[in-house]
Structure 1
C-alpha cells in the first residue's frame, strides 16, 4: 500500500517564527477573459501576482497551489470583472482559514481599443498598458487602476525660439517694403524658406493610478483614458490620413506644454471626477532635445493617500 505523501506546510513548524505581510506568487502568466464598461469580454494575456498574509507566527507557510488553482479556475471557466475579482479574493482567504485575513491580486496586461482619427474618422487599434490591483480585508475590497497613455508634447520655449527665427527670416525677405503684398507673403509662408524653424516635440507618457471610490463597481478604464486624452489634447494616433496629420500638427501648436503644464492639466481634470477617491500621476516627456527626460508628478492630496 503506497505511503501518504508528506505535507510539510501542515506538519512542521517554521524554522523561525514570525507573521508575514505578503506571501504568494508573481509572474503568473494566464490568459484571462476581461469585461468592463459594457465591453464584450476580451481575451488578454495577463501577468498576475497573488498574495495572502500569514498571521500565524508558527505556521510553516501558505498553500500556494490553492491560490493558483483559484486563478486557473477564473482563467478557464469565468470572466474577470469587478464581482468576480471580489469572489476570487474571498476565495484566497477562505482557502487559508486560520492562516490569512488579507488577500491581494495584481493583473498587468495590454488592452487594445479601437480609436478614431481626428478628421477622417478612420479607426485603428491602440494598445494601452493597464493594471488592476486589488486588496481585500475585513470584507472590504479596494481597487486601484493604472494606465499608461502616450501623447505628444511640444516645447513652449522651442516654439517661441522658432517664431523668432521666422520673424527674422521675414524681415530679411521683405526688407523692400514694395514686395510686401498678400500674394508674396502667402507664397513665402508656404515655402521652406518661410518656415525656417520648427519647435521640437516628443512622444510623452502619462502614467496614472487611481483608487476607485467605494460606490464604483466596475473598472472605468475607458473613462479614465478619455479624460486623460481630452485634457492633453494631443493623443498619439492610430490610423491617419493627411488631414489627420495636419490636424495633429495644429493641436500640437495650440497645446504647447512643459511637463508641468501637462501634469496640471491632468490634475485639474481628475480632481473633478468623484469616481476616483485618490490619484497619482506622472508625466514623462521623452526629450528630443536633451539626453534626459523631463518629468513631473502630483497627487490628489488625500490625507494618508498617495504621495509623489
Structure 2
C-alpha cells in the first residue's frame, strides 16, 4: 500500500505546458545498447548486441515532451523477440507512434550492429566467419515505410600501373638471362619462371574497403544483406578471405592478377552491380584503397537512382 501511494504521488512535469511552444521535427534517444534478433546460418534465430537510435516527431506544439520510457520499453521488447524484417520494422514504428498517444505522426529507427557470415574458402573445403558492419535505418512517414541498408565489404586491390611496371622489369630480366639463347626450351622457360629469378618485381596491393548504402524498395519483405554482399564481392572479384590453405592463397593470387583495379575501377564495378538490382531504388558507394605505396588513401565515390 505504501509503494502504491508513493507511486501515485510522483510528479510528472512532462505534462506542463511548453515554454516557447512549437512542434519539433525529432525527439528521441541515441546509442541505446539493446539486443536484436537476426536470422543466422541455417535459419536459426540469434540475438546480437546493437546500438539503437529512435526518434518520433512532436507535432503538438504545446506538449513539453514525448514519452521516452515508453519507446525504450517497446524497443527492448520487440527487437529482442522478433527477427528483423520489413514487416516487423513497420509494425514496431507504428507501435512507437501509438505509444505517444497523439503527440507524434512519424517515427525513425536506426540500428548499428555487426553481422557474421560464414564464407567458403576459394579452393579447399574450409570455411570461416567474416564480419560485416551494418547500419539499418527505417522511417515511417505518411504511412509509408522507408528502408535504407548500409554495410561495408573488404577486398584486395592490386594496382594496374604497378602490375604493368612489374611486367616490364620481369621481361627485361628474362631478356638478360636468356641473351644469346636462340630458342630456349619450354622446360628451361618453365624452370626460370618457377625460380626466384623469374620474379624480378611484384605489383603493390592493399586491403581495401567498399562502403555501400542502399535504399530498398518496399515490395521486398526480406532484408537482403547476404545477397547484396554476395553481389558486391562478386563484382570486385577479390574479397578478403578467412580460413586459408596454400591452395586458397594461390587461388587468391590468381584472382588478384585477373582483377587489377584502381579505386575508380572498383567504384564502377560496385555501382554496376547495384544499378541492376531490382530491390534497390537508390545507392551510394565509397571505396578506399589503403595504399601500400603512399602514406595516404586513394578514394572514389559514386551514387545513383534506379528506374
Between the aligned partners of 1:154 and 1:111, the Cα distance in structure 2 is 27
Q: Look up the SS of the partner of 2:250 in the other structure.
A: helix
Q: Look up the SS of the partner of 2:196 in the other structure.
A: coil
By how many angstroms is 1:289 displaced?
1.0
Q: Say whether residues 1:7 and 2:12 are aligned partners.
A: yes
Aligned to 1:294: 298
Matches within 5 A, 1:179-194: 180-194=184-198
Report if aligned partners of 1:37, 1:218 keep a CA contact under 8 Å in 2: no
**More deviation, 38-47/290-299:** 38-47
Between the aligned partners of 1:212 and 1:38, the Cα distance in structure 2 is 24
Aligned to 2:68: 64
Between the aligned partners of 2:263 and 2:84, the Cα distance in structure 1 is 35
Residues matched between the structures, number? 302
Aligned to 1:28: 32
Q: Look up the SS of the partner of 1:211 in the other structure.
A: strand
CA separation of 1:270 and 1:80: change in aligned 2, threshold 3 A: closer
Aligned to 1:44: 48
Aligned to 2:119: 115
Q: 1:83 aligns with which of 71, 87, 101?
A: 87
Structure 1 residue runs of 5 or longer lacking an equivalent are: 304-308
By how many angstroms is 1:76 displaced?
4.5
Between the aligned partners of 1:112 and 1:88, the Cα distance in structure 2 is 24
By how many angstroms is 1:109 displaced?
0.6
Aligned to 1:134: 138
The CA deviation string for residues 225-278 of structure 1, in whole angstroms up to 9 with x for no partner, is 010011111011111111110010000001000011111111111111111111
By how many angstroms is 1:37 displaced?
10
CA separation of 1:261 and 1:141: change in aligned 2, threshold 3 A: same
Between the aligned partners of 1:259 and 1:113, the Cα distance in structure 2 is 25
The CA deviation string for residues 269-302 of structure 1, in whole angstroms up to 9 with x for no partner, is 1111111111111111111111111111111246
Between the aligned partners of 2:81 and 2:123, the Cα distance in structure 1 is 42
Aligned to 1:306: none
Between the aligned partners of 1:37 and 1:187, the Cα distance in structure 2 is 46
Between the aligned partners of 2:132 and 2:80, the Cα distance in structure 1 is 24
Aligned to 1:145: 149
TM-score normalised according to structure 2 size: 0.93
Q: Look up the SS of the partner of 2:157 in the other structure.
A: strand
CA separation of 1:223 and 1:162: change in aligned 2, threshold 3 A: same
Between the aligned partners of 2:302 and 2:32, the Cα distance in structure 1 is 31
By how many angstroms is 1:189 displaced?
1.0
The CA deviation string for residues 31-67 of structure 1, in whole angstroms up to 9 with x for no partner, is 1212389832222111111111111222211111111
Q: Look up the SS of the partner of 1:177 in the other structure.
A: coil
- Give RMSD over aligned pairs: 1.8
CA separation of 1:118 and 1:228: change in aligned 2, threshold 3 A: same
